[in-house]
Structure 1
C-alpha cells in the first residue's frame, strides 16, 4: 500500500490557529509516504505568513510536495506581482514551482497554475500540458497536482482556469489517472465521473486551515492506494467544533484504466 495525504489552502495569515496542532498531529500519525500541498500556503503572500507556513511544513515528518496557489503571490504590490511573484515562495517553501515526485507506484507531477496577470483565475499553458503528457509513466498511477481545478460545478461563481478544457481533454487522452486540486474550498471526489467511469479521477480538496466562517469547515484527505483500489479517508473539522471528526470513507476501483466509485 502507498499512502498519500492531500492538503490544500492552508492560508497562513488567516488560519484557524486552534486547528494547527490537531492537523499536524493527524498528518504525522498517518505515516504517509508523501504529503501533497496544492497551493495557497499563505493568505496574502507576505514574508511573515510564509515564515509561519514554512515552520508548519518543516514539522511534517513525511516527504513533502508543494505547488503555489494564487494567494502565494503579492496581491496589492503590483510591481512585485509582475516582476518577482514567487520570490517569497522560493525563499521560504521551495525553489522548484513544478516538482516531480515518485513514491511506490505513484508518479506525481506538479503544475504551477498561478497567473500573475489575472490574480484569482489561474492558467495552464500548452507547454505545461505537453510536459505532463511527456512525463506519463505507463507503469505507474500518474497524478497531477495543481491549485486550480480543471472542472467546476455550475454553482461555483469563480471563473474556470484558462486552458482547463484543453488540459482536461489531453490529460485524459495521455493517461493521467488522478488530478489533485484546491482553490474552491469545496470538497469533491468523483463528482465528474459518469456512471460508466472515466480514466481520470479528479479530487478537489477543501481548505485545511482557512478561518473564513463561510467555508463552514476545514478538512484534509488521506489516499490509500493498493492494487486497483483507492480508499479516501476524509477528515472534517466543522468551524463550531474543536477538532476533526472520525473519517468518512470513499472507495474507488480502477479497472480497464477507468475509475468507478464502489
Structure 2
C-alpha cells in the first residue's frame, strides 16, 4: 500500500504572497493526500488578523490535518508571550499542541518545538521524548512512525533531538523553518524539510511544498514549486527506508 502525505510549512499569513496563498490549497487537494501536515509558522507575527487568514487557508486543506506551532506563531516579546504564549495559537489555529493522527499504515505525532523563552531556535524536552516514545511505541506493527515539528534537527536548531530519536525511533521527521526544501536521509530515519509555501521569505527558492509517497520499501519526496504558470514538480528524491545516503 502507498500512502501520500502532503507537507506544507511557513505560510506566514500576514506577510504572504497572495498568488501562492490563493493556489496552494487547490494544488494540495489535487494530490489527494491521506494526511496533510503543516509544520509551523502559520502566521507572521501571531496577530489576530493573521490567525484569521491562516485559519481560512487551513480550512481549505485536505483532512485529516495535523498542524504544529512555529516560532512565528508565538507573540514577540510582550506580556502575552510571558503570561500566555500559546493562547492566540490555541484559539486561532488549534487547541492541540501535541496532535496525534492515525491513518492506515501511519502514526503521526506533532510537537511544539518552540518554547516561549527561546526566540528563533527550538528545543525538545524530556517530556516530549517520553510522549513520542509512548505514541510511536503504540503504533500498529508495520506502521510508518512520523514526527512533525517546526525546527529541523541539526545545526544547533534543536537541542533534545538525540534523546527523542533514541527514545521514539521515528521513521520520518517533517520540519520547516529554514525556508529551503531538503531531504536528509540518516541511518535510521529520513528528515524532510519543507520550503516556503506562501511567505515572502523564499530564500532564493520558489514557493514550494512537498508530497511524500510512503511505501513499505521507500519514501519518494516530490517537491512542488510555483512558477508563472502554476505549480509543478521540480524534483523527486527517492529514499530507501533507513538509507544512510545524503541528498
Question: Residues 98 and 110 of structure 1 are in contact (CA less than 8 Å); yes or no, is this contact kept in structure 2?
Answer: yes
User: Residue 144 of structure 1 corresponds to which residue in structure 2?
Assistant: 147
Alignment pair present for 1:250 and 2:234: no
Question: Residues 176 and 193 of structure 2 are in contact (CA less than 8 Å); yes or no, is this contact kept in structure 1?
Answer: yes
User: Residue 25 of structure 2 corresponds to which residue in structure 1?
Assistant: 24
**1:26-68 per-position Cα deviation (integer Å, ceiling 9, x unaligned):** 0111111110000000000000000000001111233211011
User: Residue 57 of structure 1 corresponds to which residue in structure 2?
Assistant: 58
1:83-98 matches, within 5 Å, as 83-98=83-98
Uncovered stretches (5+) of structure 1, i.e. residues with no partner: 153-158
User: Residue 162 of structure 1 corresponds to which residue in structure 2?
Assistant: 159
Deviation at 1:215, TM superposition (A): 4.0
Deviation at 1:260, TM superposition (A): 5.6
Q: Normalised by the size of structure 1, how large is the TM-score?
A: 0.86
**1:52-92 per-position Cα deviation (integer Å, ceiling 9, x unaligned):** 0000111123321101101001014x210011111111112
User: Residue 69 of structure 2 corresponds to which residue in structure 1?
Assistant: 68
User: Residue 237 of structure 1 corresponds to which residue in structure 2?
Assistant: 226
Alignment pair present for 1:188 and 2:170: no
**1:94-131 per-position Cα deviation (integer Å, ceiling 9, x unaligned):** 11111011111110011111111112112110110111
* Cα distance in 2 between the residues matched to 1:71 and 1:242: 30
Residues 110, 95 of structure 1: CA spacing in aligned structure 2 closer, same or farther, 3 A cutoff?
A: same
Q: Normalised by the size of structure 2, how large is the TM-score?
A: 0.91
The list of structure 1 runs, each at least 4 consecutive aligned residues, that deviate by more than 4 angstroms after superposition, is none
Alignment pair present for 1:259 and 2:246: no
Tell me, what secondary structure is at the counterpart of 1:246?
strand
Aligned residues between the structures: 242
Alignment pair present for 1:105 and 2:102: no
